[in-house]
Amino acid sequence: MVEETKIRDVVMIGAGPSAMTAAIYTTREDIDTVMYEKAVVGGMAAITDMVDNYPGFPDGVEGMTLAAQLEAQARRFGAEFAYGEVTEIRDNGDTKTIVVDGKDIEAKAVLIATGSDYNKIGVPGEAEYYGRGVHYCATCDGAFYRDKHIAVVGGGNSAVQEAIFLTRFTNKIDLLVRSTVKASEVLQRDLQELVDAGKIEIHLGTTTDEILATDGKVYGVKITHDGEQRTLDVDGVFVFVGLSPNTGFLETSAIELDEQKLIKTDKHLMTSMPGVFASGDVRSGATMQIASAVGEGASAALGIREYLEELKRKA
Ligand SMILES: Cc1cc2nc3c(=O)[nH]c(=O)nc-3n(C[C@H](O)[C@H](O)[C@H](O)COP(=O)(O)OP(=O)(O)OC[C@H]3O[C@@H](n4cnc5c(N)ncnc54)[C@H](O)[C@@H]3O)c2cc1C
């Protein structure tokens, strides 16, 4: 049972890889730490089938296993986990008020590690085959599609960049663009070279209607162009239609966000609100990878330690 009346040293918002790593560092140094998680402990890592690029696991590791190991390690040093959604952070100077499910929790420092969600296209098959044929990160999952046929959905900078990146693994890529390609000129030039080389085919004015699978395996994507529907045979679909950082609850706070609504931090990972830090996929400049989220969690914990020591010196 989490103590709700005392002033906590640190409240961490979200219990993904970034916050759990930060909690390993803080609790190991006897900094009283509680994490509030609104959904699944382990965050996006916990819902990833297989993580192939996290160091230390030569054969890859199941996302669930990695998340459980991080949780066990944080608990070993005394980190507390609680379920609840944070809806507000208020600055009272040397303490902060964190509103969790309508209750006020006081803390000296806060770590925001709420991650980002990938925008979805909302078609049948997308949710069912999430991470098992439908993907949102080429760096994470591109290597599973060596010499396979894939569709990339989207026409902005990220879709074009990721489609270009995916040509490292396969030369059979269909780029499905609802209207026109809106990427930067440089990217469009690089894209055209790959189109000319026959590695990417662009389908403009094309909607993606359904992702098709049989026996749990994606085999095609249903598309419509000029009112005509047809099926493309593909082994996987990569969707790049934007990112939604989980920062909606900061709208009324003075914490500065960038144009994508990711949290701006200084080199110690402190936000524009003194004593409030941010790490992982929610931070402006994040690389959206577990290894980076974990590294930033460690850096944020060291920043928090410094901040708490400074508060003590002032008192
Ligand atoms: C399908 C898939 C496959 C992936 N594969 C790989 C891979 O192979 N390799 C790799 O390196 N990366 C991969 N990634 C990316 C990786 O999962 C993320 O980079 C990493 O999990 C980010 O960690 P984080 O702690 O910053 O955020 P998250 O893991 O997103 O955790 C944030 C947590 O905060 C919680 N939260 C959000 N808002 C609130 C709130 N207001 N109150 C309380 N809790 C809140 C969320 O519920 C979540 O649990 C993959 C992602 C997906 C979706």
At which of 239, 257, 288 does a domain end? Answer: 239
At which of 239, 271, 301 does a domain end? Answer: 239
Could you tell me the pTM of the whole model?
Answer: 0.89
DSSP string, 177-210: -SS---S-HHHHHHHHHHHHTTSEEEETTEEEEE
Q: Are strands 206-214 and 217-225 parallel, antiparallel or unpaired?
A: antiparallel
- Assigned domain for 1 exists: no
Question: Do 113 and 248 lie in a common domain?
Answer: yes
Measured from the Cα of 114, ligand 1's closest atom is 34
pLDDT per residue as tens digits for the range 209-260: 999 999 989 999 999 999 999 999 999 999 999 989 999 999 888 899 999 9
pLDDT at 3: 64
Confidence band, pLDDT 50/70/90 cuts, at residue 1: low
Tell me how many domains the chain contains.
2
Name the residue with the closest Cα to ligand 1, atom 47.
39
Give the number of residues written for the chain.
Answer: 315
pLDDT per residue as tens digits for the range 174-212: 999 999 999 999 999 999 999 999 999 999 999 999 999
Asked whether the predicted pLDDT for residue 301 surpasses 70, the reply is yes
CA of 190 to the centre of ligand 1 (A): 31
Name the residue with the closest Cα to ligand 1, atom 49.
43
CA of 116 to the centre of ligand 1 (A): 7
> Which CATH number is 191's domain given?
3.50.50.60
Question: Do 128 and 233 lie in a common domain?
Answer: yes
Residue 67's contacts (CB-CB under 8 Å, 6 or more residues apart) are: 17, 20, 41, 42, 43, 45, 46
Measured from the Cα of 248, ligand 1's closest atom is 41
| Pocket residue to mutate for ligand 1, from 2, 69, 114, 282, most atoms within 8 A of Cβ | 114
In 3D space, the residue among 119, 235, 105 whose CA is nearest the CA of residue 166 turns out to be 235
Question: Do 18 and 110 lie in a common domain?
Answer: yes
- Assigned domain for 164 exists: yes
Question: Do 233 and 250 lie in a common domain?
Answer: no
| Domain span holding position 177 | 120-239
Question: Do 35 and 102 lie in a common domain?
Answer: yes
CA of 115 to the centre of ligand 1 (A): 5
pLDDT per residue as tens digits for the range 13-27: 999 999 999 999 999
- Assigned domain for 2 exists: no
Structure tokens at 263: 């949290």
pLDDT at 131: 87
Question: Do 109 and 255 lie in a common domain?
Answer: yes
Q: Where are the alpha helices (DSSP H) in the chain?
A: 17-28, 43-46, 63-76, 138-141, 157-166, 185-196, 290-314
Asked whether the predicted pLDDT for residue 281 surpasses 80, the reply is yes
Name the residue with the closest Cα to ligand 1, atom 9.
140
CA of 45 to the centre of ligand 1 (A): 6
Name the residue with the closest Cα to ligand 1, atom 3.
48
- Assigned domain for 59 exists: yes
CA of 43 to the centre of ligand 1 (A): 4
Q: How far apart are CA 113 and CA 110, in angstroms?
A: 10
At which of 215, 239, 263 does a domain end? Answer: 239
